[in-house]
Amino acid sequence: QNDLLSATGTTVFTVMSALAVQHGAINLGQGFPDYDGPEDVVRAAADALLDNRNQYPPLTGLPELRQAVAAANRRFYGLEIDPNAEVVVTSGATEALTASLMAVVNPGDEVVLLEPLYDTYLPVVKLLGAVPRLVRLSPPRWELPRAELAAAFGPKTKAILLNTPMNPASKVFTAAELAFIAELCQRHDAYAVCDEVYEHLTFDGWKHIPLMTLPGMRERCLRIGSAGKTFNLTGWKVGYITCDRSLAPNVAKAHQNLTFTTAPNLQRAVAVGLAKDDGYFADLAADLQAKRDRLSAGLAALGFGVLTSQGSYFVTTDFTPLGFAGDDVAFCRHITEAAKVTAIPVSAFYAGADAPRHFVRFAFCKRMEVLDEALARLGAWK
């Protein structure tokens, strides 16, 4: 057995979703919408399925999807990307993260990570034999701690793994913060693996800025997107990496040894999705912002300390004002059983034992009536 994997727990998302099912709770834990993605996109997948699109597609992805990824890079960020040499399609952002790290990291290299962090980052970095250097962001503002970040970079730094918009902090990194990170990467000759799965899910006028668009960063960044989030089709697991032509061949070799290819009918449909007009992407964010507002206001009215969510599917809350005697894990268990509403303990996004233990994350990517019912249940429980 691999010691690291034996020591790794089952992901908190699976644990909490199973608990939600067991107790008949509304699941505001794991981040998946309770509505399907755009019908034309789903239909394109069904059409492709019936149209003999069922054998191995090209290793780096169907040409039409690579072209669509390149076109989206140009449309949204002004990035000029060669679809034949600078895009690799993967089976979800999860695979894209592993493939990107595999492409650039050797055993013993250091990888800078920002806490709170998505739960696959640390196990993957360690499986590759790399050494994690953790830097912690602090609530409620989650500002970049510049001195600590600068101190985490050194001669052994190979890469930083940056997630913006950030899960679970729901923070969108500012241009100034990104410039600071870019300067460190250049000074220390480091790559940046950029998990940008929530790139289109930003609120209140916050605009996602890919680190790759900053001066000097075009060749250093591996930019990851996910159709799961962009089209509310989380089960599809189609991701895409945009990176310089000098890096793409290694990324492709990693992908070759992880999954080799990704379902071609889904790739075809995601290409259709990425070509949708600007209105689709604006509505996607606006709909989600209305849901965020509904849940945030409702939780605040119940007494939760609600942190501002600038992007993603999530809002983080402080349950201290409710006077619950117990930590965040106990709180999430308790409300699942007693209120029949499930959330995720934010301490699950920290590596150390000294994680904050009074925050829980709620997903608002649910129908309005479901959010209202969850609030009513929490109100009745309280």
- Interface map 26-55 toward ligand PMP (x if CB under 6 A): ------------------------------
Site for ligand PMP in 209-238 (CB under 6 A): 226, 228, 234, 237
Q: By C-beta, is 163 or 232 nearer to ligand PMP?
A: 163
* Partner interacting with residue 298 (select from ligand GLN, ligand PMP, none; CB below 5-8 Å by kind): none
Q: Which is nearer to ligand PMP, 79 or 197 (CB)?
A: 197
SS3 content of the chain, % helix, strand, coil (to 5): 45, 15, 40
Q: Within 10 A of 148 (CB to CB), how many other CB atoms are there?
A: 14
Per-position x/- string for 110-129, each x denoting binding to ligand PMP as judged by CB under 6 A, each - no binding: --------x-----------
Among 27, 167, 267, 347, binds ligand PMP (CB under 6 A): 167
Distance between CA atoms of residues 66 and 88, nearest Å: 7
3-state secondary structure 122-171: HHHHHHCCCEEEEEECECCCCECCHHHHHHHCCCCEEEEEEECCCCCCCC
Q: Which residue, judged by CB position, is nearest to ligand GLN in the bound state?
A: 31
Asked if 173 is part of the footprint of ligand PMP (rule: CB under 6 A), the reply reads no
List the single partner that 13 binds among ligand GLN, ligand PMP, none, CB under 5 to 8 Å by kind.
ligand GLN
Measured from the Cβ of residue 260, the count of other Cβ atoms closer than 10 Å reads 11
- Closest distance of CB 117 from ligand GLN, Å: 11
Shortest distance (Å) from residue 107 CB to ligand PMP: 24
Residue 57 binds to ligand PMP (criterion: CB under 6 A): no
Residue nearest to ligand PMP (CB): 92
- 120/186 with CB nearer ligand GLN: 120
**Token pair of 216 as six digits:** 């000097």
Question: Which partner from the list ligand PMP, ligand GLN, none does 163 bind, CB cut-off 5 to 8 Å by kind?
Answer: ligand PMP
Which runs of E-coded beta strand occur in the chain?
26-27, 87-90, 110-115, 131-136, 157-163, 191-195, 221-226, 239-243, 305-306, 314-318, 341-342, 344-345, 359-363
How far apart, in Å, are the Cα atoms of 311 and each of 13, 17, 28, 273? 19, 22, 16, 21
In whole angstroms, the minimum distance from the beta carbon of 233 to ligand PMP comes to: 10
Upper half-sphere CA count for residue 241 (Cβ side, 13 Å): 34
CA 49 to chain CA centroid, Å, is: 28
Q: Which residues bind ligand GLN (CB under 6 A)?
A: 11, 13, 30-31, 167
Asked whether 55 and 61 are in contact (CB, 8 A), the reply is no
Minimum distance from residue 31 beta carbon to ligand GLN (Å): 3
Distance CA 323, CA 98 (A): 41
Task: Check: CB of residue 231 under 8 Å from CB of residue 270.
Answer: yes
Using CB atoms within 10 Å of the CB of residue 47, give its burial: 0 to 12 exposed, 13 to 18 middle, 19+ buried: middle
Give 86 or 95: the residue with its C-beta nearer to ligand PMP.
Answer: 95
Q: Which is nearer to ligand PMP, 298 or 311 (CB)?
A: 311
Closest distance to ligand PMP from the beta carbon of 230 (Å): 9
Contacting ligand PMP within 72-101 (CB under 6 A): 92-94
Alpha carbons within 13 A on the beta-carbon side of 139? 24
Q: Which is nearer to ligand GLN, 42 or 166 (CB)?
A: 166
Nearest approach, Cβ of residue 95 and ligand PMP (Å): 7
The binding site for ligand PMP (CB under 6 A) comprises 92-94, 118, 163, 167, 195, 197, 226, 228, 234, 237, 239
